[in-house]
Amino acid sequence: MKIGFNKPHLTGKETHYIYKAVQSLHLSGNGMFTKKSHHFFEENYRFNKCLLTSSCTDALEMSAILINIQPGDEVIIPSYTFVSTANAFVLRGAKIVFADSLPNHPNIDTSKIENLITEKTKAIVPVHYAGMACEMDEIMRLAEKYNLYIIEDAAQAIDSYYKGKPLGSFGHLATFSFHETKNIISGEGGMLVVNDKTLVPRAEIIWEKGTNRSAFFRGEVNKYGWVDVGSSFLPSEVVAAFLYAQLENLDDIQNKRKHIWETYHQALEELEQTGKLKRPVIPNNATNNAHMYYILCNSYEERTNLITHLKSKEIAAVFHYLSLHKSPFYSDKHDGREIPMSDYYEHHLLRLPFFYDLTEDEQNYVIEEIKNFYK
């Protein structure tokens, strides 16, 4: 039995909607399926304004332009995150100030943020790791106190909540990913959420290559031209059509993923009780959108041996991020602080095979082989 780490799930309507998009003869961005996708998020999650992008990386880069990041500005992000979270701001000249993770969860440790704020701090970018909420009340309090922008990196956090409110609705801006490893996919793809109404007109301009094309097509201006910086951030209608087929099946996808997550969680409880490994915790006030299932091994060596064991049984289990503060590109720019919890997750966290079409037999086989390893 060969079990990969991820397998994209198709709902069955993707190619039908792509055909409809092709037949419409509107293949560039911002057509029928783009508008349907925007409406889905604005209607279901009460996001103020949504703009589909070619990737979550694009959405982050739009965010950096939107809040006018200048050389020398400081942006606080967790060290335990994907490179795009930092890169988007580095591209505009920002200095990245890395924060540590919580002792019991890879999310940013909010108690460590305030000491990192200086007069140069422009923004905080909390990353909702595994789709589980950061402590948003405290983060928004800091934003108000120090007049900072909050950009939620909600790449993994579709359909997840903090105190009953959807992730992506707290920050001035938020970004989502529809990469094929996410709950809802379009191959590549992402979205920028603009919750700060004052940023909406400029967001549309940046999205449309620096032109006021969106306003023109709404009849708000009689011609459109180059009015600001921007780039080609829109995905094609083919991508939006694929995405919309997935969005229509969001509830089904989420229910199945939550069942898989719970199966892992219950089956591995005994191994946690006997001190063999640690299971994920759901932070206070957060929900679980079943984006991934990970375990924490007792040492780097143990994790390496477990990966090797599972690989020998044709099971793909993978570690995750490398601490960005130690990366070849940024280590000499980092201020030298130790960031121990980020390093801990780098060396101990292991993600298990997790996808909609994972069968009961396949999942039981993964669980059985983990238990065999710890015997």
- pLDDT for position 221: 80
Of all residues in the chain, the percent with pLDDT exceeding 70 is 100
- pLDDT for position 222: 81
> How long is the chain?
375
Q: How confident is the model at residue 117 (pLDDT cuts 50, 70, 90)?
A: very high
* Average of per-residue pLDDT values in the chain: 97
Span 218-243, average pLDDT: 92
Span 70-77, average pLDDT: 98
Span 317-324, average pLDDT: 97
- CATH architecture of the region 250-374: Alpha-Beta Complex (3.90)
Buried b (16+ CB within 10 A) or exposed e, 69-88: beeebbbbbbbbbbebbbbb
- pLDDT for position 84: 98
Of all residues in the chain, the percent with pLDDT exceeding 90 is 95
The pLDDT of residue 96 is above 90: yes
Buried b (16+ CB within 10 A) or exposed e, 256-265: bbeebbebbe
| Closest to 56 (Cα-Cα) out of 158, 160, 134 | 158
Span 293-320, average pLDDT: 98
Span 150-159, average pLDDT: 98
The DSSP secondary structure of 261-295, one letter per residue, reads HHHHHHHTHHHHHTTS-B---PPTTB-------EE
Three-point CA angle 200, 187, 31, nearest 5° = 45
The pLDDT of residue 34 is above 90: yes
- pLDDT for position 64: 98
The pLDDT of residue 219 is above 90: no
- pLDDT for position 215: 80
Span 31-36, average pLDDT: 97
The pLDDT of residue 239 is above 90: yes
More confident residue, 117 or 222: 117
Span 280-293, average pLDDT: 97
Span 238-255, average pLDDT: 98
The pLDDT of residue 80 is above 90: yes
- pLDDT tens digits along 100-111: 999 999 999 999
The CATH classification number of 14-247 equals 3.40.640.10
| Closest to 50 (Cα-Cα) out of 144, 158, 165, 136 | 158
Structure tokens at 145: 């106190």
- pLDDT for position 156: 98
Question: What 3-state DSSP class applies to 111?
Answer: helix
- Determine the distance from the C-alpha atom of residue 347 to the mean position of all C-alpha atoms in its chain, rounded to a whole number: 21
- pLDDT for position 217: 78
The pLDDT of residue 220 is above 90: no
pTM over 0.85: yes
The pLDDT of residue 223 is above 90: no
The pLDDT of residue 213 is above 90: no
Span 275-281, average pLDDT: 98
Q: What are the angstrom distances between the C-alpha of 174 and each of 44, 124, 210, 256?
A: 16, 12, 20, 26
Are 55 and 87 in contact by the 8 Å Cβ rule? The answer is: no
Span 203-221, average pLDDT: 88
Domains of the chain, by residue range, sit at 14-247, 250-374
